[in-house]
Amino acid sequence: MIDLQFTPFPEFQTERLILRQLHDTDVDEVYELRSDRETMRYIPRPLAQTREHALDHIHMVNDEIQANRSINWGITLKGTDKLIGLIGLVRIKASNRRAEVGYILHEHHRGQGIMSEALRKILDYAFLNLNFNSIIAVIDPDNEGSKKLLERHAFKKEAHLRENIFYKGEFRDTVIYGLLSSEY
């Protein structure tokens, strides 16, 4: 079992990015991300209907961090504090040294290697600092961008679960990708 401690919050920098904790002042950007139908296309969660919903999401994320149950970072470009995406380790199973990585990026910043840069830093943290044994990602089988991102980082397809999620009146498939610390 690993002992998780997310306080003080681990902020990271990469060549182009700052990965930092979410703040109430990020409400407009979180709303923009979580209310956009195209951005949320492959994420089976309700769209944010109001800025209050986005603020509730920020508070939920930070409550989970305080409780050491999960951790999410806001993604910003160096030189600006404007949030362009989110990445986090969720559904952590400390006894199994396993977590799920999840992410979302504003459409204007896709295809630039930004999520790849953020994912690399989070994988370093998960494997080298937290001592996780495995990280999984659960994606929509039609999400080609996510599939390519994960495969570039040596994730392997572990399962294709057929119609395992019921969302918006229909059953949907999910695909699970995994990466072991020994492969990283």
Residue type (1 letter), 62: N
Cβ-based burial of 120 (10 A; exposed 0-12, middle 13-18, buried ≥19): middle
Residue 155 contacts by C-beta under 8 Å, 6 or more apart in sequence?
Answer: 135, 137, 177, 178, 179
- 28-63 pLDDT per residue, tens: 999 999 999 999 999 999 999 999 999 999 999 999
| Phi, psi at 127, each rounded to 5° | -85, -40
Mean pLDDT value across the chain:
96
Whether 129 is covered by a domain: the verdict is yes
For residue 2, pLDDT beyond 90: no
Q: Measure the CA–CA gap between 69 and 150, rounded to whole angstroms.
A: 23
pTM of the predicted model as reported, rounded to 2 decimal places: 0.95
Whether 4 is covered by a domain: the verdict is no
CATH number at residue 169: 3.40.630.30
Block residue for tokens 């109001």: 50
Please tell me the total count of domains within the chain: 1
Whether 3 is covered by a domain: the verdict is no
